[in-house]
Amino acid sequence: MNRLFRRIERRFELSACHPSFLTRKIPAGLSYLHCFGGLAFVLYLVLLLSGMLLSVYYLPSEQEAFRSVVAITREVRLGFLVRGMHRWAGHLLLVLVLLHTVRVVVQRAYLPPRELNWLAGVFILLLLLASGFTGALLPWDQKAYWTTVIASGIAGTAPWAGETFLQLVRGGPEVGGATLLRFYSLHVLWLPFAINLFLWAHFHMVKRLGIKGGL
């Protein structure tokens, strides 16, 4: 493996082109607890890749959505595996992000000068939760439908903005085809775009300030 890396390095000279990325100083006292953020990122990549594969077969319409998910699970080659990977990567990502957040809290890494990185993290967490919520409707089965009816209904009871929020989320008075299309668009375009933007800011700040060491 080492010989292979040396060979690639001789040709590409990656360490010379990206010295700040490949030869970064890290503080003393790092432990396995500092791996949760990196592991969460790996799972996020699995989520993106499996989502891109699912989007090749998924049909976001009232008539076709359920049937296309059944076809992905039963007929498409390895479809069940890709769907399972997407589902489990989503669940595990939330677990890892929470563990990562606990590490940051215990180590007080949210204090200045890292307060903006904490804020970026909070936005990422909210956007991830929104991704889970919008993704849950996409199988378009009974569980998906009623989860969205109940959850959006609860949000709709909020004072002042509740009713407007309900209309905006559902795209009409009831959960239907318009809601499915809105959730699909949010799930595959708007939310990943926003998450990528905040992740870029998150990593930029980690790079600039370094990791807080010693636990």
Write out the residues near ligand HEM by the rule CB under 6 A.
34, 37-38, 40-41, 44, 97, 100-101, 104, 109-110, 114, 117-118, 121-122, 124-125, 202, 206, 211-212
The residue among 136, 126, 2, 141 whose CA lies nearest residue 70 is 141
The residue number with the shortest CB distance to ligand HEM is 121
Shortest Cβ 137–ligand HEM spacing (Å)? 22
66/123 with CB nearer ligand HEM: 123
User: Residue 80 contacts by C-beta under 8 Å, 6 or more apart in sequence?
Assistant: 72, 73, 74
Shortest Cβ 39–ligand HEM spacing (Å)? 8
82/109 with CB nearer ligand HEM: 109
What is the distance between the alpha carbons of residues 125 and 107, in angstroms, rounded to a whole number?
Answer: 19
69/97 with CB nearer ligand HEM: 97
User: What residue type is assigned to position 196 of the chain?
Assistant: N
Shortest Cβ 46–ligand HEM spacing (Å)? 12
Shortest Cβ 24–ligand HEM spacing (Å)? 11
DSSP string computed for 81-129? HHHHHHHHHHHHHHHHHHHHHHHHHHTTTTSTTSHHHHHHHHHHHHHHH
Shortest Cβ 36–ligand HEM spacing (Å)? 6
Residue found under tokens 């989502």: 51
What is the distance between the alpha carbons of residues 72 and 66, in angstroms, rounded to a whole number?
Answer: 10
149/201 with CB nearer ligand HEM: 201
DSSP state of 32: G
57/123 with CB nearer ligand HEM: 123
What is the distance between the alpha carbons of residues 153 and 137, in angstroms, rounded to a whole number?
Answer: 14
Shortest Cβ 59–ligand HEM spacing (Å)? 28
124/138 with CB nearer ligand HEM: 124
